[in-house]
Structure 1
């Protein structure tokens, strides 16, 4: 299997994930052959990313109007193994790199047979919604993000 360029060593990369959520592939997310639609992983990544941020209390309540919000700067998905209607996948999320106002997020999907199906990555940038300009992470956010790095390095 050829790995995407953001994965140097698959074993190490996989071991660094600590957060996951489960998704069951719905009929509406498949084509006439029962094969998952190619846009569905981006929806799964979003769901997992929001739960990940909520667990960390990184951005407060995202539904409330705020002076700083996370937006996706880029997002990619690499399809490793086919996924079908009725499959159950675990979507893993980790903060691979933290910048001043952005986070490089990595994703991994494992099916019910413990097989790697999807990998992905994307940049999330914290911005001021009124100005559209990036906003640096505050002390609380840095503490939450640093606690992630420490738990991975243990």
Structure 2
């Protein structure tokens, strides 16, 4: 596997993942060659991240939120092509937790057990009234470190 700037030791990095969702590749996510379009992995990252946060009980009050998680940056590395009709396991884990932000890492495994995508992204906790970064709720950091 090629060198990935945000991964120091691939083997130990890979073993740290526990949470995943299964994704069936839909036709609308592919290009004219039948493989996954280069924007689709970012949708998979969002889906896995959202399900992970829901499972952890985070950011669930969407009617009157005191803060909202906003994507600040995303990065994806493509390792193997993925095609319409295939299924992947999309893993997500928090990599680092700051005062107002989280850095998530992502890994997709295809049906043959090969890593086909890796990625990372910073999520900033924002006050919906001011649009400014705000500290992560204490319960969020407590849940994510365990």
- Could you say whether these structures have the same fold, taking a TM-score greater than 0.5 normalized by the shorter chain as the test? yes
The within-5 A match list for 1:14-53 is 14-53=14-53
The within-5 A match list for 1:82-93 is 82-93=81-92
Q: Which residue of 2 aligns with 1:80?
A: 79
CA shift, 1:134, in A, is 1.0
Q: Which residue of 1 aligns with 2:121?
A: 122
Count how many residue pairs are aligned between Structure 1 and Structure 2: 146
- Partners of 1:137 and 1:34 in 2: how far apart? 41
- Partners of 1:27 and 1:60 in 2: how far apart? 30
RMSD between superposed Cα atoms in Å = 1.0
CA shift, 1:138, in A, is 2.4
CA shift, 1:141, in A, is 1.4
Q: Which residue of 1 aligns with 2:56?
A: 56
Secondary structure in 1 matching 2:63 = coil
Q: Which residue of 1 aligns with 2:134?
A: 135
Secondary structure in 1 matching 2:118 = strand
Gaps of 5+ in 2: none
Secondary structure in 1 matching 2:117 = strand
- Partners of 1:139 and 1:49 in 2: how far apart? 19
Q: Which residue of 2 aligns with 1:151?
A: none
- Partners of 1:16 and 1:51 in 2: how far apart? 18
Secondary structure in 2 matching 1:89 = strand
- Partners of 1:4 and 1:44 in 2: how far apart? 19
CA shift, 1:90, in A, is 0.6
Gaps of 5+ in 1: 148-154
Secondary structure in 1 matching 2:46 = helix
CA shift, 1:146, in A, is 1.8
Moved over 2 A (4+): none
